[in-house]
Structure 1
């Protein structure tokens, strides 16, 4: 039996004004960003136009990715902002897609 290496991403999206943050998990970042940007997923990202990828973390375990997502969501906005600031102080789009 062969083992496949999977990659999971925990990510943060914001909108043009940086007034909101969305935190999500995916195993296909390109597809997921496309869905967000095209409004194919009704909800928060569509309502608040969160299309700009500003933070990304990779893991090989879906359990670790979900645990990290929950940890981030439970944190304060100040802590989330500080995390983005630490890796992307200008809050530039970091997506290659």
Structure 2
């Protein structure tokens, strides 16, 4: 039996630098961020215009990804900003790099 790789992503999309934030989890990061960008995510994300991917993290196990998403959702806003700014201090939209396959 061959090795099966699982990919789950916890991510943050924003309306802009230090703007509205949405924390989510998916098993298809390119598809999901595309949905955000095209306004296909009902509710909070569409209403706030959170369509800029500013942070993401890979997990191999779905339960770990769900736990991480839930924890981050409970964080203070300033903690979420600090998390983004650790790796993306200019709040650059990371989505274009996903389209080139650079999201490991």
TM-score, normalised with respect to structure 1: 0.92
Could you say which residue in structure 2 is the equivalent of 1:25? Answer: 25
Could you say which residue in structure 2 is the equivalent of 1:88? Answer: 88
Q: State the superposition RMSD in angstroms.
A: 1.3
**Aligned residue pairs, count:** 97
What pairs with 1:4-83 in structure 2 (closer than 5 Å)? 4-16=4-16, 18-83=18-83
Where structure 2 has 5 or more consecutive residues not aligned to the other structure, the ranges are 100-104
Q: CA deviation at 1:71?
A: 0.7
**Moved >3 Å (runs of 4+):** none
Q: CA deviation at 1:17?
A: 5.3
TM-score, normalised with respect to structure 2: 0.86
Q: CA deviation at 1:19?
A: 2.0
Q: CA deviation at 1:3?
A: 4.8
Where structure 1 has 5 or more consecutive residues not aligned to the other structure, the ranges are none
Q: CA deviation at 1:90?
A: 0.5
